[in-house]
Each structure stands twice: as C-alpha cells, then as structure tokens.
Amino acid sequence: MKRVAADQKGEAQTMGQRTPTLIDLSDCISNDTSNFEPNPHHITYVSHAEAYGMVARYGLRPEFFAPGHAWAVENLTLSTHSGTHVDAPYHYAPTSGGAPARTIDQLPLAWFYSDSVLLDVRSKPAGDGISAEDVRRELARIGYTLKPLDIVLVWTGTSAHFHEKGYDQMHAGLRADATRWLVEAGVKVIGIDAWGLDRPFTVMAQEAAAGHPERARILPDREAGAPGAAAAPVRLPRRVLPLQHPRCQCRLDARSGDFRGVSGLRPSTSLNVRKGVSTLKWL
C-alpha cells in the first residue's frame, strides 16, 4: 500500500468504497537528534550546485542542467538502530532458544501488518517500569483481549521530547514480566514512542550494580522478548492509532536491525473502531 501521509494528521486515500487514512509514525532524524545516541548519526547535505562534481564522472556538464540544478543528495553515517527502526532477536544475542537468533531479514513480513492496540501508559514517570499487571489493567480498561499477531503500541508520551537533550533517559519502559506476558499471548511486534522498549540504561545499570534480585542476568528487561518478538521504537500520534504497518525503506542482509518507515491506518467513520482498538479485517 502506498504511504500518502504528509504529516501526523495524515491524508485520505480512497480504496474502493473505503477511505482509510495513513498516518506517518516515523520520527525524522537530523543532525540535531544525534547527541543522545550511543551510535551517533551524521548527515552531510550535498546541494544542487555541489552535486556537479559528483555527476562529472558520467560526462555530464553544468550546461546540461538548468542553472544551479543538478540533483541534491544526502550522505548518511548511521546505524541500523537510528531513529525509527525494528530490533530483530539477533540484536539481543547471537542465539535464541538454543538456535541461531533470527536477523531482521528472516522475520515474517506478516508480523508487521496486523491489527494493533494502543496502551496508554502516560501516567508512568521517566525511568519507571511498565509491568505485566499494568498491561493487563490497561487492556481491561479499554475492553480488549489480545489475539496472536496483534501489534501492541505502548504510548508513554515521550516522543514529544524527541529533539531534546537527554531524550534517551526520559521514558518509562517495559519490565521483563510485561514483555514475556505479551510474547506468550502471541504478540510478535511491540511499538513504543520512546528511545527504547525497556527502561533507560542508567536505571537498569544502577540496579545491576546494586545487586538487585531481578538483575541476576544483565538487562533481563531487554532480553525477555528476544526469542520471539521484534521491537519497534516509533512515534505515536496523540489520538488515533488503530493499525501499524512498517515498510522497509532499506533492506539489509543478515543485520541486527533495519530502517523502517512506520505508518498507521485510520479507517473511515463507517468502519467499527471502539475504544482506540481497530478490528479491521479487510487488509
């Protein structure tokens, strides 16, 4: 499906008799969003005029173009975990369940195109843990029962601070018991509007150093979902988020992650959407 959303509000596209709206959930990285990344990204912008030197190799001369208008291009230095992306099981460990952990290119595409449910946990402060009980309580509040392959979107509210210094320390994150509970319910993809799926590293490192009983292994919150799920840090709009559809912008072979442009599909008012949960089947 073609993405048509130009901003967070989205634009309508007619599909037969139905008019859904595609919503862009991806964060836009820039040189201003690099300082909090362990693997900083950098963008070099090549202007139309500067590109003349690049095209000379093809025998193209400036007079072949409109004045000042060769093509612009951006050169990027970044990791596969910059901005909006998907973590494959291989990101967390080389093995999973006694077998080689799957890389991003080995994950079924069907995992990333399914019904989704939005869990509002904005009441959780930065550094706090989102437990399995928190997840069950929110599902009960909106009256929804998870089914296999549902995409769970965790709404912390942190994405509003994406361009601020220290963004990687501002979010609440899933605890190990919540991740395990979701995976056992058949969930394969979990999205969050924050730097990471789990709590900030500083919080978990302090607990590990203090001999916290849940820290017998290093970072169990991160490892809990590794055998059977993919994590997708995304930006969540403030209101409608029925569906999520990640699409691959740049597919890499056998790597720990991949770039993803993530979109949400909002159905027309004639379709049944209740309590923030979509039950669309026509996709």
What pLDDT sits at residue 261? 58
> 245 and 107 in one domain?
yes
What pLDDT sits at residue 274? 35
Burial 192-230 (b: 16+ CB within 10 A, else e): bbbbbbbbbbebbeebbeeeeeebeeebbbbbbbbbbbb
> 210 and 70 in one domain?
no
> 52 and 19 in one domain?
no
Residue 154 covered by a domain: yes
What gap in Å lies between CA 226 and CA 241, rounded to an integer? Answer: 25
Domain termination site, one of 55, 76, 97: 76
Contact 171, 198 (CB under 8 A): no
What pLDDT sits at residue 81? 85
Residue 5 sits at φ, ψ, to 5 deg, of -65, 130
Residue 248 sits at φ, ψ, to 5 deg, of -80, 125
What pLDDT sits at residue 221? 43
What pLDDT sits at residue 123? 97
Residue 4 covered by a domain: no
**3-class SS letters over 43-87:** EEEECCCCCHHHHHHHCCCHHHCCCCCCCCEEEEECCCCCCCEEE
> 130 and 57 in one domain?
no
Q: Which pair of tokens denotes residue 107? A: 């994950």
Residues 217, 221, 223, 225, Cα dihedral to 10°: 150
What residues make up the domain containing 58?
Answer: 42-76
Residue 188 covered by a domain: yes
User: How many domains does the chain divide into?
Assistant: 2
> 172 and 267 in one domain?
yes
Mean pLDDT of 79-105: 85
> 265 and 133 in one domain?
yes
> 92 and 190 in one domain?
yes
> 194 and 272 in one domain?
yes
Mean pLDDT of 226-232: 52
Mean pLDDT of 246-263: 49
What pLDDT sits at residue 126? 96
Residue 2 covered by a domain: no
264 has a pLDDT exceeding 80: no
pLDDT digits (tens, 9 = 90+) for 2-23: 334 444 444 444 555 566 677 7
Residue with tokens 């494959």: 88
Stronger pLDDT, 122 or 176, i.e. the higher one: 122
Residue 25 covered by a domain: yes
243 has a pLDDT exceeding 60: no
Length of the chain in terms of residues written:
283
* Residue 235: pLDDT band with limits 50, 70, 90: very low
* Residue 164: pLDDT band with limits 50, 70, 90: confident
pLDDT digits (tens, 9 = 90+) for 180-215: 999 999 999 899 999 988 899 899 888 888 877 554
> 268 and 132 in one domain?
yes
> 89 and 68 in one domain?
no
> 190 and 107 in one domain?
yes
Residue 190 covered by a domain: yes
Residue 151 sits at φ, ψ, to 5 deg, of -100, 120
What pLDDT sits at residue 18? 62
Helix (H) or strand (E) holding 142: helix 132-142
Residue with tokens 């916290």: 212
What pLDDT sits at residue 3? 38
* Residue 50: pLDDT band with limits 50, 70, 90: confident
Please tell me whether residue 209 adopts helix, strand or coil conformation. Answer: helix
pTM tops 0.85, yes or no? no
> 154 and 96 in one domain?
yes
